Amino acid sequence: MVDGNMGKQAPTVMFLQPGIIFDLSINSYRGLHAERGRSGIDHHDKRRGDASRVHVLHKIVAGLVDSGYLWDMVSLGTLGGTNSEATAVNADGWVVGQSDVTQGFDAFLWTPDHGMADLGTLGGGFSSALDVNDRGQVVGWSGTADSGVRRGFVWTAAGGMVELPPLPGYASSEARFVNNRGYIVGVSCSSACPTGNPRATLWVVPVKDDAQQQLADTIDLILSYNLTKLGTSLTDKLQNASNFVAAGQVSQACGTLTGFLHQVSAQKGKALTVVQAAALAARVIRIRNDIGC
10 Å Cβ neighbour count for 7?
A: 6
Q: What is the pLDDT of residue 134?
A: 86
Residues in a beta bridge with 100: 105
Extract the runs of DSSP E, i.e. beta strands, from 53-198: 84-89, 95-100, 105-111, 115-120, 123-132, 138-144, 150-156, 160-164, 172-178, 183-189
Give yes or no for a contact between 201 and 167, defined as CB atoms under 8 angstroms apart.
yes
**Residue 219 clears pLDDT 70, i.e. is over it:** yes
Quote the mean pLDDT of the chain.
80
> Rounded mean pLDDT of 98-126?
93
Let me know: does 274 contact 268? Beta carbons within 8 Å.
Answer: yes
Whether the pLDDT of residue 112 is over 90: the answer is no
Q: 1-15, 36-50, 204-218: which has the highest mean pLDDT? A: 204-218
Q: What is the pLDDT of residue 207?
A: 66
pLDDT of 59 > 70? The answer is no
Q: What is the pLDDT of residue 38?
A: 40
* 220: Cβ contacts below 8 Å, ≥ 6 apart: none
At residue 132 the predicted structure's pLDDT band, cuts being 50, 70 and 90, is: very high
* pLDDT at residue 15 tops 70: no
- The whole model's pTM is what? 0.55
Specify the amino acid at residue 188: S
